[in-house]
Amino acid sequence: MPVPTDPSPALADYAHPERLVTTQWLADNLGAEGLVVVESDEDVLLYETGHIPGAVKIDWHTDLNDPVTRDYVDGEGFAQLMAAKGISRDSTVVIYGDKSNWWAAYALWVFTLFGHEDVRLLDGGRAAWAAEERPTTTDASSPAPTDYPVVERRDEEIRAFAPDVLAHLGNGPLVDVRSAEEYTGQRTHMPAYPEEGALRGGHIPTAVSVPWARAAAEDGRFKGRAELEAIYAGEKGLQQGDDVIAYCRIGERSSHTWFVLTHLLGYDKVRNYDGSWTEWGNAVRVPIATGAEPGDAPARRS
Amino acid sequence: MSAATAGGAPTEGLPPALAEIVEDFHAVSEPERLQLLLDFSRGLPALPPRYAEHPELLEPVPECQSPIFLLTEVDDDAERSVHLFFSAPPEAPTTRGFAGILAEGLDGLPAAQVLDVPGDVCSRLGLDRAVSPLRLRGMTGMLGRIQRQVRESTAA
d(CA B149, CA B143): 10
Determine phi and psi for A5, rounding to 5 degrees. Answer: -80, 165
- pLDDT tens for each residue of B65-120: 677 899 999 999 999 999 999 999 888 999 999 999 999 999 999 999 999 999 99
Query: Chain-wide mean pLDDT for chain A?
Result: 94
Are B93 and A45 inside 8 Å of each other by CB? yes
d(CA A265, CA A182): 26
Furthest C-alpha separation in chain A:
61
Nearest C-alpha in A relative to B91:
A46
d(CA A190, CA A66): 31
pLDDT for the residue numbered A40: 97
Whether the per-residue pLDDT at A59 is higher than 70: the answer is: yes
pLDDT for the residue numbered B68: 87
Give the residue numbers in A contacting B (CB under 8 Å), as ranges: 42-46, 48-49, 61-62, 67, 98, 188, 190-193, 196
Are A43 and B93 inside 8 Å of each other by CB? yes
Are B34 and A46 inside 8 Å of each other by CB? no
pLDDT for the residue numbered B1: 41
Interface test with B, best of A41, A43, A63 (most B CBs within 10 A): A43
Judged by phi (left if over 0) then psi (alpha if -120 to 50, else beta), residue B122 lies in: alpha
Are B148 and A192 inside 8 Å of each other by CB? yes
For chain B, give the percent of residues with pLDDT over 70: 93
Are B37 and A45 inside 8 Å of each other by CB? yes
Residue A228 host element (H or E):
helix A225-229
Rg from Cα positions in chain B: 15
Gap from B132 CA to chain A (nearest CA, Å): 6
Reported ipTM: the value is: 0.81
pLDDT for the residue numbered B59: 87
With contact defined as beta carbons under 8 Å apart, do B72 and A79 qualify?
A: no
Whether the per-residue pLDDT at A221 is higher than 50: the answer is: yes
H helices within B27-117, ranges in order?
Answer: 30-43, 49-52, 93-106, 111-116
Measured torsion, CA atoms of residues A53, A56, A60, A66, in degrees rounded to the nearest 10: 170
For chain B, give the percent of residues with pLDDT over 90: 67
Work out whether strand A119-122 and strand A92-96 pair parallel, antiparallel, or are unpaired. parallel
Confidence of residue B5 (pLDDT cuts 50, 70, 90): very low
Q: Which residues of B touch A182 (CB under 8 A)?
A: none
Confidence of residue B156 (pLDDT cuts 50, 70, 90): low
Interface test with A, best of B69, B135, B137 (most A CBs within 10 A): B135
Sheet strands (E) in A24-90: 35-39, 56-57
Nearest C-alpha in A relative to B140:
A193
Whether the per-residue pLDDT at A194 is higher than 60: the answer is: no
Confidence of residue B4 (pLDDT cuts 50, 70, 90): very low
Alpha-carbon distances, residue A172 vs A204, A265, A296 (angstroms): 13, 18, 12
Whether the per-residue pLDDT at A188 is higher than 50: the answer is: no
The mean pLDDT of A63-85, rounded to a whole number, is: 96
Catalytic positions of A are 248
Q: Specify the range with the lowest mean pLDDT, choosing from A97-101, A119-123, B8-12.
A: B8-12
Are B63 and A67 inside 8 Å of each other by CB? no
Alpha-carbon distances, residue A175 vs A87, A210, A254, B30 (angstroms): 33, 7, 9, 39
* Residue bearing the bigger pLDDT, B23 or B31: B23
Determine phi and psi for A259, rounding to 5 degrees. Answer: -65, -45
Gap from B28 CA to chain A (nearest CA, Å): 17
Nearest C-alpha in B relative to A196:
B63
Are A193 and B144 inside 8 Å of each other by CB? yes
Q: What is the DSSP letter of A129?
A: H
For chain A, give the percent of residues with pLDDT over 90: 85
The mean pLDDT of A256-284, rounded to a whole number, is: 96
